[in-house]
A and B are shown apart, each in its own frame.
Chain A
Amino acid sequence: MRFMDRNRLALGSLVRAPLRTAMMLLATAIGVAAVVTLTALGEAARLYVTDEFRSLGTHLLVVIPGRNETTGGGPPMVAGASPRDLTLDDARALVRSASIERIAPVIVGEATASVGSLQRTVQVMGTTADFRTIRGWRMAGGEFLPNVDLERETPVCVVGALIGSELYRGESPVGQWLRVGDRRCRVTGVLAPQGTSVMVDADQLVLMPVAMAQALFNAPGLFRILVQARDRDAMAGAIRYVTATLRDRHRGTEDFTIITQDAVLQTFDGILGTLTRALAGIAAVSLAVAGVLIMNVMLVAVSQRTQEIGLLKALGARRSQVIGLFLYEAFYLALFGALAGLAIAAVVLAILAQLYPDFRFMPPVWAVAGAVLLATGCGMLFGILPARRAARLDPVAALARR
Chain B
Amino acid sequence: MPLPSATEPGRPGPLIRLEGLTRLFSVGDQEVRALDGVDLAIGAGEYLSLMGPSGSGKSTLLNVLGLLDRPTAGEYWLDGQATSGMSDDRLADTRQREIGFVFQFFHLVPRLTAAENVELPMLLGGVPPAERRERARQALSGVGLGRRIDHRPAQLSGGERQRVAIARSVVMRPKILLADEPTGNLDSASGAEVIRIVEALRDQGLTLVVVTHDPAIGGRAGRRLRMRDGRIVEDARG
Binding site for B on A (CB under 8 A): 1-2, 4-5, 9, 12-13, 16, 307-308, 310-321, 395-396, 399, 402
Contacts and interface: CB of A to CB of B under 8 A. Distances in A.
| A interface majority secondary structure | helix
B121 A315 contact: yes
B124 A317 contact: yes
Interface string B107-137: 1010110000000110111101100000000
Interface stretch (B2-10, B85-93, B222-230): B85-93
Contact of B103 (A13, A16, A313, A399): A399
Contacts of B124: 1, 312, 315-318, 321
Contacts of B95: 313-316
Nearest to A400: B59
Nearest to A402: B105
A308 B109 contact: yes
Given A307-B107, A396-B68, A396-B69, A312 B88 contact: no
B93 A316 contact: yes
Contact of B92 (A2, A13, A317, A399): A317
21 contacts: A1-B124, A1-B126, A16-B111, A308-B109, A311-B107, A311-B109, A312-B120, A313-B92, A314-B66, A315-B120, A315-B121, A315-B168, A317-B92, A317-B96, A317-B124, A318-B88, A318-B89, A396-B63, A396-B68, A399-B68, A399-B107
A12 B89 contact: no
B125 A316 contact: yes
B209 to A, nearest CB: 15
Contact of A12 (B105, B112, B129): B112
A1 B119 CA distance: 12
A2 B97 contact: no
Nearest to A398: B68
Contacts of A307: 107
Contacts of B125: 316
B93 A2 contact: no
A319 B111 contact: no
Given A314-B68, A319-B88, A13 B111 contact: yes
Contacts of B128: 2
Contacts of B69: 396
Contacts of B103: 399
A316 B168 CA distance: 12
Given A1-B126, A399-B107, A314 B101 contact: yes
A397 to B, nearest CB: 10
A315 B101 CA distance: 8
B97 A316 contact: yes
A319 B63 CA distance: 18
Interface in B49-79: 63, 66, 68-69
A165 B121 CA distance: 87
A13 B105 CA distance: 21
Contacts of A318: 88-89, 92-93, 124
Contact of B68 (A321, A395, A402): A395
A402 B93 CA distance: 26
Contacts of B121: 315-316
Nearest to A319: B88
B34 to A, nearest CB: 11
A395 B95 CA distance: 12
A2 B120 CA distance: 12
Contacts of A395: 68
Contacts of B101: 314-315
Contacts of A319: 88-89, 92
Given A5-B129, A317-B124, A396-B68, 11 more contacts: A2-B128, A12-B112, A308-B109, A310-B107, A311-B120, A314-B66, A315-B95, A315-B121, A315-B124, A318-B89, A395-B68
A319 B88 CA distance: 8
B97 to A, nearest CB: 7
Nearest to A310: B107
A140 B184 CA distance: 99
A2 B89 contact: no
Nearest to A320: B89
